[in-house]
């Protein structure tokens, strides 16, 4: 966020001719808030479109229209389409990885996993677009955001691998391969976001349906926990 804003701030310095002494700090802060708000709106529109139609399937014009700004104006806030896309991914990465980050060796593994599934299903229900965006990006080999994404993932996963290993050493978990357990949790929970179109087509329901949400959560917890708690 900080980095992404550097540019707009630089441009603003050039573009708005100041009287001697410049505007008050309050005025500057207000302007900055308006700038941030507009960036937020544009990023929101970009998220919806990129996650549905992909990077190449979405035009800057479409994003501008959805965000209710002109294309020229959009390209004042983001240097080009690539930067808009990268900003979007960078901003969402932290929140997208949050549920896994919560894993802690002090927790009971069953609680931790139940909690993870719950959090991830809520995210899949409320923010399916984010999930789809990362799905698309990773599936295509992360061509744009690339190394940054994988490097972040790797740091987190290495960290959580040791947590799972501790649980196993303490006899609290069956000897599963940590990587596969993590992939397993990712795959099953994200499925309901990434393939919501298919899930809805086949079952007629989405995670927004209370009963369906509970059913998914129970099914996943039952299967996973039965398979990984010490026998």
Site string for a second copy, 132-161 (x = CB under 8 A): x--xx-xxxxx-------x--xx--x----
Contacts (CB under 8 A) with a second copy, residues 207-226: 215-216, 219-220, 222-226
> Is residue 27 involved in binding DNA (CB under 7 A)?
no
Q: Which of DNA, a second copy, none binds 35 (CB below 5-8 Å, type-dependent)?
A: DNA
Angle, nearest 10°, between helix axes 2-15 and 25-53? 120
Q: Which of DNA, a second copy, none binds 60 (CB below 5-8 Å, type-dependent)?
A: DNA
> Is residue 24 involved in binding DNA (CB under 7 A)?
no
Query: Among 7, 35, 93, 149, which residue interacts with DNA (rule: CB under 7 A)?
Result: 35
Q: Which stretch binds DNA (CB under 7 A): 79-87, 134-142, 170-178, 200-208?
A: 79-87
């Amino acid at each position: 966020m900080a980095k992404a804003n550097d540019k707009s701030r630089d441009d603003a310095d050039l573009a708005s001719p100041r009287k001697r002494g410049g505007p008050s700090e309050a005025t500057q802060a207000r302007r900055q808030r308006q700038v941030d708000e507009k960036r937020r709106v544009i990023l929101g529109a970009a998220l919806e479109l990129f996650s549905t139609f992909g990077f190449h399937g979405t035009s800057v014009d479409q994003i501008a229209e959805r965000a209710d700004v002109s294309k020229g104006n959009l390209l004042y806030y983001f240097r080009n389409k690539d930067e808009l896309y990268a900003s979007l991914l960078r901003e969402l990465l932290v929140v997208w990885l949050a549920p896994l980050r919560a894993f802690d060796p002090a927790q009971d593994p069953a609680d931790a996993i139940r909690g993870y599934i719950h959090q991830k299903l809520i995210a899949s229900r409320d923010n399916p677009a984010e999930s789809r965006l990362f799905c698309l990006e990773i599936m295509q080999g992360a061509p744009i955001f690339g190394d940054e994404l994988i490097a972040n993932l790797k740091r987190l996963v290495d960290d959580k691998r040791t947590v799972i290993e501790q649980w196993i050493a303490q006899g609290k978990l069956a000897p599963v391969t940590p990587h596969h357990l993590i992939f397993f949790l990712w795959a099953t929970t994200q499925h309901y976001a990434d393939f919501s179109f298919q899930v809805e087509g086949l079952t007629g329901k989405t995670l927004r349906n209370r009963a369906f949400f509970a059913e998914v959560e129970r099914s996943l917890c039952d299967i996973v926990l039965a398979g990984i708690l010490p026998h």
